[in-house]
Amino acid sequence: MFELRDLFQWDRFITVHIIKIFYWLAIALIALLGISGMLSGLTAMAISPFGGLITILVSLAGICVGVVFSRILAEFILIVFRINEHLGAIRDQGTMR
């Protein structure tokens, strides 16, 4: 678990814990932007029904792509830190002999 003293020590990484917060913030931002796009699509339907429908569909696709991309990015960052932990464990095993 993340503790306040971890901020002042370099033995543990805090990014692993903080990345989850950034992931959920990114999801909230993606959802808000998607809802905004859909509302503008509904507004545009008064002028051009086909254009408004396209805007709504693009907004839905943007939400899906944004969620998947943010998850991939968060997992990539976590994998990099996990690789570092495993390499540290391998290094520690080598120095015990």
Whether 38 is in a domain gets the answer yes
- Could you tell me the residue range of the domain that residue 71 belongs to? 17-86
Give the H or E element holding residue 47.
none
pLDDT band at 65 (very low <50, low <70, confident <90, very high): very high
Cα 81 to chain centroid, rounded: 15
What is the tens place of the pLDDT at every residue in 69-79? 999 999 999 99
Ranges 21-25, 37-41, 44-48, 90-94: which has the least confidence: 90-94
The count of domains in the chain is 1
Of the chain, the end-to-end C-alpha distance in Å amounts to: 31
